Structure 1
Amino acid sequence: MRPMKRVLFLCTGNYYRSRYAEELFNHLARAEQLAWRASSRGAAERGSPDNVGPMSVFADDRLRASGIVPEGAARFPQPCSLADFDDADLVIALKETEHRPLVERRFPEVADRVTYWHVDDIDFAHPSVALAMIDDHIRALVSALRSSVRASGRSPAQT
Structure 2
Amino acid sequence: MQRVERESQCLLFICTGNYYRSRFAEGLFNHLASQEGLPWWAYSRGLNINWIIDNTQISPFTEGALVGRGIDLVHTGSRRMPLSRMDLHGADRVIALKRDEHHPMLAHQFPGWEERVEYWTVHDVDFATPEVALPEIEALVGGLIDELRPKMA
TM-score, length-normalised on structure 2? 0.91
Runs of 4+ in 1 over 4 A off after TM superposition: none
Instruction: Measure, in 1, the Cα distance between the counterparts of 2:37 and 2:76.
Output: 22
Question: Which TM-score applies when normalising by structure 1?
Answer: 0.87
Q: Share of identical aligned residues, percent?
A: 43
Contact 1:92 1:115 (8 Å CA) reproduced = yes
Does the alignment pair 1:33 with 2:37? Answer: yes
SS of 2:151's partner is helix
For 2:128, the equivalent position in structure 1 comes to: 125
Q: CA deviation at 1:127?
A: 0.4
1:140 equivalenced with 2:122 (yes/no): no
Q: How many correspondences in the alignment?
A: 149
Q: Contact 2:95/2:120 (CA < 8 Å) preserved in 1?
A: yes
Q: Counterpart of 2:14?
A: 10
Q: Tell me what 1:150 maps to.
A: 151
Q: Quote the Cα distance in structure 1 between the aligned partners of 2:119 and 2:54.
A: 23
The residue aligned with 2:27 is 23
User: Do the aligned partners of 1:94 and 1:117 also contact (CA within 8 Å) in 2?
Assistant: yes
1:106 pairs with 2:109: yes
| Residue identity matched to 1:50 | I
Taking the aligned partners of 1:72 and 1:30, their CA distance within structure 2 comes to 9
User: What is the 5 A alignment of 1:60-75?
Assistant: 60-71=63-74, 75=78
For structure 2, the residue ranges without an aligned partner over 5 or more in a row are: none
